[in-house]
Homo-oligomer: A and B are copies of this chain.
Amino acid sequence: MAANSQFSIAVHILAMLAQSGEDKVKSECLAGSVNTNAVVIRRLLGHLNEANLVVSQTGAAGGTRLAKQPGDITLDSVYKAVNCGEVFALHPNTPSQDCPVGKNIEAVLCCIQKEIDRGVEARLAKYTLQDIMGMVEHAVA
């Protein structure tokens, strides 16, 4: 699976916004730190906005700030905002229902999938954006 970097970039963006406090930050500035295109940042900000993690304002004096305190943003909410929230996907096509394995494998995999996804979210939920700021400041993970 080619894992994607949306989550990493989203945490980076949120850490930048946390550092700026009430000041709004422009997507070009965020893009400079992330070292990517502002279009990528704006698309991600759209997802973070929908998840009520950030507040964006358009226009010349516009920009983005956090919608909550860094201590109130947990990484599982960031993960859910930018991901489909599944470590692995089920079958793209329904398996053969004439095959004893094919008939039941999806239910089994679905159960394991839910357990794995819940485990990931529980681990991410232990970290707040405030924790990340502390780790970034100490340059120690």
Which A residues are within 8 Å of any B CB, using their own CB?
A: 1-9, 11-12, 15-16, 19, 32-36, 75, 79, 82-84, 86-96, 99-113, 115-116, 119-120, 123-124, 127, 132, 135-137, 139-141
Contacts of A119 in B (CB 8 A): 119-120, 123
Q: Would you call B102 and A34 a contact (CB within 8 A)?
A: yes
Q: In the assembled complex, how far is the CB of residue A27 from the closest CB belonging to chain B, in whole angstroms?
A: 15
Whether B5 contacts A99 by the Cβ 8 Å rule is no
Cβ of A89 to closest chain B Cβ, rounded Å: 4
User: Which of the residues B4, B5, B99, B112 comes within 8 Å of A127, measured between beta carbons?
Assistant: B112
Given the known interface contacts A96-B35, A116-B120, the answer about A4 and B102 at a Cβ–Cβ threshold of 8 Å is: no
How many monomers of this protein are in the complex?
2
> In the complex, are the beta carbons of B35 and A5 less than 8 A apart?
no
Q: Which residues of B contact A11 (CB under 8 A)?
A: 105, 109
Q: A105 vs B68: C-alpha distance in the bound complex, in angstroms?
A: 20
A134 to chain B, nearest CB (A): 9
In the complex, residue of chain B having the shortest beta-carbon distance to the beta carbon of A15? B101
Set B9, B34, B87, B132: member contacting A87, Cβ < 8 A: B87
Compute how far the CA of A16 lies from the CA of B58 in the bound complex, rounded to whole angstroms. 55
